[in-house]
């Protein structure tokens, strides 16, 4: 139902997530970030409690891979879920459950991950990767939006679009951007 990106910016210490879907008010239950800690996206069958628990685990010092293992192990529906986790060291872990809707997939790069399900094709995710990689000189919020726009231009969610969200945290305990 969704395509998204979660990333960190090593230069500024910012973390951010950007997401688009046919589901209304997507940002309310899918995008999570905490200053100095990391960022998490939960989608497909979104479970905001997993993201809240995941941020707490990241804050305790676990890395993205460890947190992903713990969350998937404790989840009652991991096959129906997608998660992107970015930790304070810009480590990335992504999970795409085998029961999420086709086309589904995920990819990671240096300090970021993209994931999607119910997509027109894998071109959505490849376009997101390319846009993020080629906008390295931009600030993190701009890079995230460019990535999302590229995914939409490549087909995006096969059902169309209804909502999007952008959440970025910097050094303060409140969001730098929350749209």
* CA atoms of 71 and 148, how far apart (whole Å): 26
Predicted confidence (pLDDT) per residue in 9-22, tens digit: 999 999 999 999 98
The overall average pLDDT reported for the chain is 95
- Nearest Cα to 168, choosing from 154, 151, 152, 147? 147
Bridge partner residues of 33 (DSSP): 39
Q: DSSP code of 80?
A: G
Helix or strand (DSSP H, E) at 145: helix 140-153
Q: Are 57 and 69 in contact (CB under 8 A)?
A: no
Question: Tens digits of per-residue pLDDT, 70-83?
Answer: 999 999 999 999 99
Closest CA to 109 of 126, 88, 97: 126
- Arithmetic mean of pLDDT, 41-66: 97
- State the pLDDT at residue 156: 84
> Phi and psi for 28 in degrees, rounded to 5?
-65, -30
pLDDT band of residue 1 (cuts 50, 70, 90) is: low
- Per-residue pLDDT, averaged over 142-164, amounts to 91
Q: Is residue 31 over pLDDT 90?
A: yes
Query: How far, in Å, CA of 112 to CA of 91, rounded?
Result: 8
């Amino acid at each position: 139902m969704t395509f998204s990106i979660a990333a960190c910016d090593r230069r500024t210490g910012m973390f951010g997530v950007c997401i688009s879907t046919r589901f209304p008010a997507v940002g309310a239950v899918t995008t999570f970030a905490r200053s100095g800690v990391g960022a998490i996206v939960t989608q497909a069958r979104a479970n905001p409690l997993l993201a809240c628990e995941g941020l707490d685990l990241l804050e305790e010092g676990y890395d993205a891979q460890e947190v992903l293992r713990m969350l998937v192990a404790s989840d009652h529906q991991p096959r129906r879920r997608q998660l992107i986790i970015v930790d304070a060291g810009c480590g990335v872990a992504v999970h795409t459950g085998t029961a999420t809707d086709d086309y589904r997939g995920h990819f990671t790069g240096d300090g970021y991950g993209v994931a999607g399900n119910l997509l027109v094709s894998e071109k959505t995710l490849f376009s997101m990767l390319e846009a993020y990689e080629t906008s390295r000189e931009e600030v993190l919020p701009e890079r995230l939006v460019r990535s999302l726009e590229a995914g939409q231009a490549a087909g995006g969610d096969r059902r169309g679009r209804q909502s999007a969200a952008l959440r970025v945290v910097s050094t303060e305990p409140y969001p730098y951007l929350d749209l």
